[in-house]
Amino acid sequence: MTDAALGRASDLILAAAKRPPIRVESLFDEPTFTATHVVYDPATRHGAIVDSVLNFDAASGRTSTRGADAIIDYVKRESLTIDWLLETHAHADHLSAAPYLQAELGGKLAIGREITTVQNVFGKVFNFGTEFARDGSQFDHLFDDGETFALGDVPAIALHVPGHTPADVAYVIGDAAFVGDTLFMPDYGTARADFPGGDARALYRSIRRLMALPGATRLFLCHDYKAPGRDHYVWETTVGAERASNIHVHDGIGEDAFVEMRTRRDATLDLPHLILPSVQVNVRGGRLPPPEDNGARYLKLPLDVF
């Protein structure tokens, strides 16, 4: 079966390689090991922010915009116009700062079309009422697989890459791909596939799809955890490097072997400590729950569900 969306993405990357590369500035949030990427067209200075973080202290319930403010400072200093606030998926390890960034910088908030599946799952888990729409309407745009868009003069395309969650999207922008939680650095491997709706087999297929992009494609990851023996964080690699040496999924590792490894490893992992706060905020597009009649906002803690 031919993969038309993947073919368009590859063509786009090969064409982009003949132009000045897109610029990427990454800010790393060490408490959640998350890399937020500001990506822009150097010619028009139009850009996007991929996977932002709202700082959150679970013990006190206090949020902070410290990290987001650093992004705002960068965008203003560089005189960028933000067209898009892109989420690769509904994160389970940090709260998104996208609504805060949008209020300050503009741009359209977007995620993959399948977010509605994730909203249905967690709408039930948290017993949200009818005030919680499960149609993705908290976002300005829902991307379909193969849908094109642009940052200034730089063409871009969304690829649906489910597995970590049902809704993951990789954004190919110019000569780079922002792959969210599919691949990590070659020495660290791949994302877990055991969250509700996750699927190791689907993850393998999504990763092989990304690995079919041109070898020189720059990959920007959502997380890095410093593999054993490495003393610094890295969140950029290439398709070629992943194919050659990703410890979980380099060329030659088949689907069944990957699924067996991934399933065994996932069974040993603790849940991310911010999963319950994160998902109930992120399925709302990063908005905190509405205030109660005393003006305070509350998160829910489902007991004995996970």
The number of angstroms, rounded, from the C-alpha of 21 to the middle of its chain's C-alpha atoms is 21
How big is the site for Fe ion, counted in residues (CB under 5 A)? 2
Q: How far apart are CA 2 and CA 157, in angstroms?
A: 17
Give the nearest distance from C-beta 242 to Fe ion in angstroms: 18
Give the nearest distance from C-beta 112 to Fe ion in angstroms: 13
Amino acid at 153: D
Q: Which of 145, 175, 181, 242 binds Fe ion (CB under 5 A)?
A: 181
DSSP string, 271-287: PPTTHHHHHHHHTTTTP
Give the nearest distance from C-beta 27 to Fe ion in angstroms: 17
Instruction: Choose the stretch contacting Fe ion; rule: CB under 5 A; options: 40-48, 145-153, 181-189, 231-239.
Output: 181-189
Instruction: Choose the stretch contacting Fe ion; rule: CB under 5 A; options: 29-37, 52-60, 178-186, 264-272.
Output: 178-186
Q: How far apart are CA 93 and CA 144, in angstroms?
A: 24
Q: How far apart are CA 241 and CA 213, in angstroms?
A: 12
Amino acid at 116: T
Q: Which is nearer to Fe ion, 41 or 181 (CB)?
A: 181
Instruction: Choose the stretch contacting Fe ion; rule: CB under 5 A; options: 14-22, 88-96, 116-124, 233-241.
Output: 88-96
Instruction: Choose the stretch contacting Fe ion; rule: CB under 5 A; options: 57-65, 89-97, 121-129, 146-154.
Output: 89-97
CB of 222 within 8 A of CB of 49? no
Query: Which residues in the 91-130 window bind Fe ion by CB under 5 A?
Result: 91
Q: Which is nearer to Fe ion, 46 or 192 (CB)?
A: 192
Q: Which is nearer to Fe ion, 87 or 181 (CB)?
A: 181
Q: Which is nearer to Fe ion, 91 or 243 (CB)?
A: 91
Sign of the torsion angle spanned by Cα atoms 234, 215, 142, 73: positive
The CA radius of gyration of the chain, in Å to the nearest whole number, is 18
Instruction: Choose the stretch contacting Fe ion; rule: CB under 5 A; options: 119-127, 176-184, 268-276, 279-287.
Output: 176-184
CB atoms within 10 A of CB 290: 10
**Tokens encoding 167:** 């809704």
Q: Which is nearer to Fe ion, 131 or 270 (CB)?
A: 270
Collect all residues with Cβ–Cβ distance below 8 Å to 253 and sequence separation of at least 6: none
Query: Which residues in the 185-244 window bind Fe ion by CB under 5 A?
Result: none
Q: Could you list the residues that contact Fe ion (CB under 5 A)?
A: 91, 181
